[in-house]
Amino acid sequence: MADYLFVRQTDGYTCGPTVALVASAALDPAYGATVTDAAGEQHRIHAAANRLWPRKLGTTPWGVAAAISAHTEALGVRYTWRLFRKDLGAVLAAVESDWPVAMLIGATIPRHWVLIVGHEGGALRCFNPSRGEATTVTVTDAQTRRLDTLGFPRAFAVVLPGHTLN
């Protein structure tokens, strides 16, 4: 995963596609090896994920889930989204099993996507595409709306592996 944590979003609307790109490249190394133009790939993902949604409004949770799932279905896993809950059991289990989890954060409205890429000792390692780097926040901070170090205080939704395909 560390190989892709340097990628930065190209504009104020591509945080979701950037998170999907980083997660997909980590989970599907063959895909990651084909990405030679990260900016172009962000815009391609954004267009594909937002066929009916205005791009200036960012990327929906179902759009991020579909973009990541395009690279995990071969692994037998489909990503899904749900509203953020204080019980982070499923999020922690996914990250501890090397499945990154996208998290939509904001203040009064959802505004920005980050990617949870690790968990250790009550701390979440989160890739922030606006900075192109990882930041650490505590699980307690996520549960109590104190995520300001990520740019916004509150989590609204998560996109995580949820369906096993048989």
Q: What is the pLDDT of residue 145?
A: 96
Q: What is the pLDDT of residue 122?
A: 96
Q: What is the pLDDT of residue 165?
A: 59
**128 conformational bin, left if phi > 0, alpha if psi -120 to 50, beta if neither:** beta
Q: What is the pLDDT of residue 24?
A: 96
Q: What is the pLDDT of residue 124?
A: 98
Angstrom distance (rounded) from CA 62 to CA 50 = 10
For 6-120, list the strands marked E by DSSP.
77-83, 101-106, 110-120
Q: What is the pLDDT of residue 41?
A: 94
Spell out the per-residue pLDDT of the chain, length 166, in tens.
556 668 999 999 999 999 999 999 999 999 999 999 999 999 999 999 988 888 888 999 999 999 999 999 988 999 999 999 999 999 999 999 999 999 999 999 999 999 999 999 999 999 999 999 999 999 999 999 999 999 999 999 999 998 665 5
* Cross-strand pairs, 143: none
Q: What is the pLDDT of residue 105?
A: 98
- Report the CATH fold assignment for 2-164: Cathepsin B; Chain A (3.90.70)
Q: What is the pLDDT of residue 50?
A: 83
Domain ranges of the chain: 2-164
Is this model's pTM higher than 0.75 or not?
A: yes
